[in-house]
Each structure stands twice: as C-alpha cells, then as structure tokens.
Amino acid sequence: METFLMTGANRGLGLGLVTELVARSDTFVVAAIRSSATQDLRKIAAQNPDRLMITPMHLADQDSILAAAAEVSKRVDHLDVLVNNAAAHPPAGEQSFKAVTRDQMMQVFEVNAVTPFLVVRAFLELLRRSSRPRIVNISSERGSMAWQAGHGGYYSYSLGKAGLNMLPRLLAVDLAPHNVITISVHPGWMRTQWGGAHAALSPAESAHGILELIGQLTPGQNGGFYKWNAEVHPWQEGRHHPGTVSLSRPPARWLDGSNRLHASAFEPGKLRCSLSMRLHRRESKITPCRADIPRKEESS
C-alpha cells in the first residue's frame, strides 16, 4: 500500500488529490491542514477511517511541522509520496508593483518556498524507508522565467514559486543517496477560489493528471518542472527546463577540431544520446536530450 502525505488538503487541488487517492484500494493518505477540517474532508475521513488520517500542520510554525511528523510516524512506518501543495496567494491587487509590501513578500516567500523545504526535512526519515520515495511540489507557471516574459504583477506569488522551482534541483543532488525523486508541477488553470469559475480545469481533472505523472515518475525526471498533464514546462528563455544545460561559452576541451561538441564533455558511460550540434556562435545553446546527463566541471 502506497502512503501519501498532502499539505493544503482542505480544499481545491489538495482535496481533489485526497478524494481520488482514497477512492483507490491501495493507498493510505495523510491530510495535513492548517485549521479545522472542512465539511468535505470530514466526510471523506468518516467514510474511510482506515484510509485517511487528518493531522494539523501550521506551515508558519516549524514546531508544528515537527509535531506533525512525529504524529504521522506513530501511524505509518514509511512515506512514498510527499506532496507540498499548501500555498499563499494574496489578491492580485495587493501584489502590484505599487501596492506590494515587504512584509507580504516575506510571508508569501516563507510559505511558498521555505516551508516546503522544512516539510521535506521533517519527513525525510519516513521517505527514506520507502522503496520508491517521491516529492512533488505544486508550483505555478508564474514561477517560470519563460512564462513570465511579458507578464507583470503578482510579485509575492511569482517570486515564491520561482524559489520553489529551485528546490527540486537542490534536492535532486542532496537526496540522491536516498533515491528520492523530486519535481515541481504546474497544476494548470483550475476552477478554485484563485482560478475563478471560468478556468479550464476542475481540481479533479488536474488531480487525476498529477497522480498519473506521480505514478510514472522515473529517475531521469528528477529535478524537473512539469505540467499537470506530464508535459515538460518551459523553465527559461521559452525552451529550457531544469534538466537541461545552457552554455554561453563552452570550454575548448568540450569541442573537437570541427567545433562540434564531443562525448568527452560528459562523464564516461553516461551519454544517452548522439550529440553532434555545431556551435556557430558564442551564444549558441547546448541542450542535451536527457535531463539526467551529468556535466563535467572545469578544473580551476
């Protein structure tokens, strides 16, 4: 039986994820919430007392996060999937260039970028006991530098989600010894209190796609940024995502006599595809076709 932990499980996408997971026969769900459970969540818990655990977790309080981890450890012996879903999203008018305040920006960044890291650290021991541990951070297209081109405003939310999108890149390295796969996911434009009634997706549709993605995750996707339907989300300059390499001045030893990138630019035995892109100018971009190709570092 797979064990999931969901923050922000009271409503919207979080509730949609809990609803679909509990409907399955092979999952146990821990729903972490800040305040009292909503009527919908209480109803699901009442109908599935052996499949759903509700635990309080105030994301602005590190002691509350640690207490939740201790409480969950009494109920389950491992954690297969941690979903950092809870987020802060002030009204758009309060995040404009003129209106946004320092206090708001700091508070939103703490909840959207810092707290997910603290949750991961608190639950790492349970994740380590899984045979297939995964961490999924529910992010936003507003955290993409590619998407933000031409879009202003939403300062607090955008900066927080951009910070969150860096987290999988760091965890992909530091949690590698534990075989943990970490990604960020844009859930799409949903019909929630934030997305409005005219949004394209219901929370249930987004939840279904995200759970399909979670179920199919491979080590090659570690550190990546994806859409709810499993497509790679643009990360930078409209075409890069966290699993690619972008260079403005490739080291000379990476090129052969014809000014082509050769295999010695990568660790022996790790090359996954043919690399024969010709570099015509210094600003040319090198984009490996697999996200898990490591790059040799230049010696100082």
Model confidence pLDDT, tens digit, residues 58-93: 998 999 999 999 999 999 999 999 999 999 988 888
pLDDT digits (tens, 9 = 90+) for 167-181: 999 999 999 999 999
pLDDT digits (tens, 9 = 90+) for 126-151: 999 999 999 999 998 887 877 666 77
Which residue spans within 69-122 are E strands per DSSP? 81-84
Can you tell me which residue has the tokens 């699901």? 44
Confidence of residue 248 (pLDDT cuts 50, 70, 90): very low
Residue predicted with more confidence, 190 or 96: 96
Which residue spans within the chain are E strands per DSSP? 2-7, 27-33, 52-56, 81-84, 134-138, 181-186, 225-227
The rounded distance, in Å, linking the Cα atoms of 247 and 192 is 40
pLDDT of residue 149: 62
The rounded distance, in Å, linking the Cα atoms of 142 and 291 is 22
Average pLDDT over residues 294-299: 41
pTM value is 0.77
**What percent of the chain has a predicted confidence (pLDDT) above 70?**
75
Q: Is the pLDDT of residue 230 over 60?
A: yes
* Pairing of β 2-7 and β 52-56: unpaired
Residue type present at position 243: G
Lowest model confidence (mean pLDDT) among 186-195, 209-218, 237-246: 237-246
Mean pLDDT, the chain, integer:
81
The rounded distance, in Å, linking the Cα atoms of 251 and 30 is 49
Q: At what angle do helices 155-174 and 115-128 cross, to 10 degrees?
A: 30
Average pLDDT over residues 97-107: 96
The residue extents of the domains of the chain are 2-227, 244-300
C-alpha closest to that of 239 among 141, 137, 139, 145:
145
DSSP state of 299: P
Q: For 163-177, give one letter per residue: b (16+ CB within 10 A) or e.
A: bbbbbbbebbeebee
> Which tokens sit at 7?
């923050």
pLDDT digits (tens, 9 = 90+) for 267-277: 433 333 333 33
Name the fold adopted by 2-227: Rossmann fold (3.40.50)
**What percent of the chain has a predicted confidence (pLDDT) above 90?**
58
